[in-house]
């Protein structure tokens, strides 16, 4: 055993373990006495004895009374490793080997899945965490329903800005809106239950519902939001997931008559509606419609919100506002799972909301996003019927509907070759799409970048149209 420098007991133990595992010390062989080994290594006998004792306790060595210390005889062989395999086990699900390509830093990235937002101001960011630095460090998971002050601040905000009639006791804090939906699904959806989702709709919400064993029933969306008549016609549905403020991904707002019809449907079917209000703060043309949950007199709407869009996706805090009969179920499920938003983030966020920094932030970013939206509209607002910009009233993304005959996938590839990345609509459908186009997340990009990216998209569309007679005809129709 070659040893150099000052030997610590940890190192010695590790060297003996390695020698045993690699077969340099054979099973059942006798080790030198602690005195002899100590002398040969130039360390204290106490050190060696302690290491022997430790390795006996671990099962590597055996002490035989009066006879010395041996390598454990019943230790199985660990054949020398042939290096770590990079081969997955044959039985695991197949996997496309190549990671998807990603935009470079010089590219313009309008894609929805890597959405960027306008940062909180450095000043209020610092205030938030310096506040937390003065709090007592936590010793447990915290209450399953969430930090009391954060729930107070959220309820206050929802009463004020979203027309909800709710108190802190109605709010359950979660690690994001999708987790809130998962919690509700866990409480409400029996295996195989039919759940209505918007078509096209939010893939992450669908995934969570499917994971809970729901059978998804896609219900089409038009200019006024979810087609409630089609929902009525779909038999057996007793839970509907909707995004009335700014339909995801098309961006339409559900009209008041549809909202009322949806609530009537819920009363008629004894059903539950989950309202995902993910970006209602970011409305540009006047205040948002009050939430569906604010119209609901009968306790059949569960409201789900998030700070991901308005503050930062990286915070991972969302919430559910549940009718009274559902609340205790959610809290108990939450308690059992241990799955909640980190306590430090909840505390800091509570302070951020209570101080007024949140309202100031919303006002500031609303102006910023409005500038970017204007840049987008400036370039893509009049494409001579090749494409129509939709869903611009709110949020951080818009939908550019393409004229029939323009291939969303092919043209997205052309745009990508010129350094502009967009999301295509297709994956947001469960069934066959009834329209096509691009989703453009413009929120996180400076106005100049938006303008440049949009110009490239406009060129790509115009060039495609010039090359194609049918598209020109379709464009006249869409105009």
| Site for its own copies, residues 81 to 100, rule: CB under 8 A | 81-93, 95, 97, 99-100
Residue pair 286/147 in contact by the 8 Å Cβ criterion: no
Choices 149-157, 243-251, 273-281, 331-339; region in contact with its own copies by CB under 8 A: 331-339
Window 254-273: residues binding its own copies (CB under 8 A): 255-257, 260-261, 263-264, 270-272
Q: Residue length, the chain? A: 479
- Least distance CB 154 / its own copies (angstroms): 17
- Least distance CB 410 / its own copies (angstroms): 24
Between strands 318-321 and 171-174, the pairing is: antiparallel
* Selection from 62, 75, 66 nearest residue 30 by Cα: 62
CA distance 137 to 112: 37
Residue pair 212/228 in contact by the 8 Å Cβ criterion: no
Window 107-126: residues binding its own copies (CB under 8 A): 113-122, 125-126
Instruction: Indicate which single residue of 29, 40, 298, 382 sits in contact with its own copies (rule: CB under 8 A).
Output: 298
Q: Please, what is the Cα angle at 322 between 320 and 328, to 5 degrees?
A: 105
Choices 149-157, 297-305, 375-383, 449-457; region in contact with its own copies by CB under 8 A: 297-305
Residue number with CB closer to its own copies (22 or 410): 22
- Least distance CB 121 / its own copies (angstroms): 8
- Least distance CB 21 / its own copies (angstroms): 7
CA distance 414 to 81: 48
132 binds its own copies (CB under 8 A): yes
Q: Please, what is the Cα angle at 471 between 470 and 475, to 5 degrees?
A: 120
Instruction: Indicate which single residue of 152, 169, 339, 407 sits in contact with its own copies (rule: CB under 8 A).
Output: 339
59 binds its own copies (CB under 8 A): yes
Residue number with CB closer to its own copies (239 or 383): 239
Residue carrying structure tokens 């035989």: 64
Choices 284-292, 396-404, 431-439, 447-455; region in contact with its own copies by CB under 8 A: 284-292
Instruction: Indicate which single residue of 7, 128, 292, 375 sits in contact with its own copies (rule: CB under 8 A).
Output: 128
* Selection from 231, 248, 247, 229 nearest residue 289 by Cα: 247
Residue pair 235/282 in contact by the 8 Å Cβ criterion: no
Instruction: Indicate which single residue of 3, 24, 28, 129 sits in contact with its own copies (rule: CB under 8 A).
Output: 129
Instruction: Indicate which single residue of 1, 15, 19, 21 sits in contact with its own copies (rule: CB under 8 A).
Output: 21
- Least distance CB 416 / its own copies (angstroms): 18
**Strand ranges in 26-73 using DSSP code E only, listed in sequence order:** 61-64, 68-71
46 binds its own copies (CB under 8 A): no
The interface mask with its own copies, positions 214-243, x = CB under 8 A, is ------------------------x-----
447 binds its own copies (CB under 8 A): no
Instruction: Indicate which single residue of 335, 410, 434, 463 sits in contact with its own copies (rule: CB under 8 A).
Output: 335
- Least distance CB 345 / its own copies (angstroms): 5
**Strand ranges in 262-331 using DSSP code E only, listed in sequence order:** 272-276, 301-306, 318-321
295 binds its own copies (CB under 8 A): yes
Window 364-423: residues binding its own copies (CB under 8 A): none
Up-side HSE of residue 247: CA atoms within 13 Å toward CB? 25
* Selection from 463, 470, 469, 415 nearest residue 439 by Cα: 415
Window 153-212: residues binding its own copies (CB under 8 A): 163, 175-176, 178-179, 187-188, 190, 193, 204, 207, 211
Contacts of 357 (CB under 8 A, 6+ apart): 120, 124, 127, 128
Residue 271, Cβ density class (10 Å: 0-12 exposed, 13-18 middle, ≥19 buried): middle
């Amino acid at each position: 055993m070659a040893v150099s420098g000052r030997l610590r007991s940890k190192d010695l133990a590790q060297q003996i373990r390695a020698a045993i595992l690699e077969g340099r010390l054979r099973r059942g062989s006798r080790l030198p006495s602690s005195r002899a080994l100590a002398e040969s290594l130039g360390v204290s006998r106490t050190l060696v004895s302690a290491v022997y004792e430790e390795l006996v306790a671990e099962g590597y060595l055996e002490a035989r009374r009066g006879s010395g210390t041996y390598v454990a005889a019943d230790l199985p062989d660990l054949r020398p490793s042939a290096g770590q395999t990079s081969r997955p086990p044959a039985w695991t699900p197949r996997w496309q080997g190549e990671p998807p390509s990603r935009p470079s830093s010089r590219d313009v990235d309008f894609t929805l899945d890597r959405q960027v937002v306008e940062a909180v101001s450095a000043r209020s960011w610092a205030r938030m965490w310096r506040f937390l630095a003065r709090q007592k460090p936590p010793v447990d998971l915290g209450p399953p329903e969430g930090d009391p002050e954060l729930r107070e601040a959220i309820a206050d905000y929802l009463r004020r800005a979203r027309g909800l009639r709710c108190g802190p006791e109605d709010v359950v804090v979660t690690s994001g809106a999708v987790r809130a939906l998962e919690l509700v699904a866990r409480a409400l959806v029996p295996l195989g239950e039919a759940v209505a989702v918007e078509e096209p709709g939010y893939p992450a919400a669908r995934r969570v519902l499917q994971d809970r064993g729901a059978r998804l029933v896609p219900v089409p969306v038009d200019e006024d939001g979810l087609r409630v008549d089609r929902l009525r016609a779909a038999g057996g549905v007793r839970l509907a997931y909707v995004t009335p403020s700014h339909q995801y991904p098309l961006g339409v707002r559900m009209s008041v008559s549809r909202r009322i019809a949806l609530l009537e449907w819920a009363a008629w079917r004894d059903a539950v509606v989950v309202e995902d209000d993910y970006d209602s703060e970011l409305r540009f043309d006047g205040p948002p419609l009050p939430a569906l949950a604010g119209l609901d007199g009968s306790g059949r709407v569960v409201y789900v919100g998030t700070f991901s869009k308005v503050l930062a996706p990286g915070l991972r805090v969302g919430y559910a506002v549940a009718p009274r009969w559902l609340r205790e179920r959610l809290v108990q499920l939450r308690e059992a799972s241990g799955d909640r938003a980190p306590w430090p983030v909840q505390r800091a966020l509570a302070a951020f909301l209570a101080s007024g920094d949140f309202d100031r932030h919303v006002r500031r970013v609303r102006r910023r996003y409005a500038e970017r939206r204007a840049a987008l509209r400036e370039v893509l607002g009049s494409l001579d019927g090749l494409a129509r910009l939709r869903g611009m009233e709110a949020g951080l993304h818009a939908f550019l509907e393409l004229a029939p005959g323009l291939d969303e996938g092919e043209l997205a590839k052309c745009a990508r070759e010129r350094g502009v990345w967009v999301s295509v609509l297709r994956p947001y459908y469960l069934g066959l799409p009834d329209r096509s186009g691009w989703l453009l997340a413009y929120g996180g990009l400076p106005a100049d970048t938006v303008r440049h990216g949009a110009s490239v998209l406009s060129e790509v569309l115009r060039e495609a149209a010039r090359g194609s007679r049918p598209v020109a005809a379709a464009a006249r129709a869409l105009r």
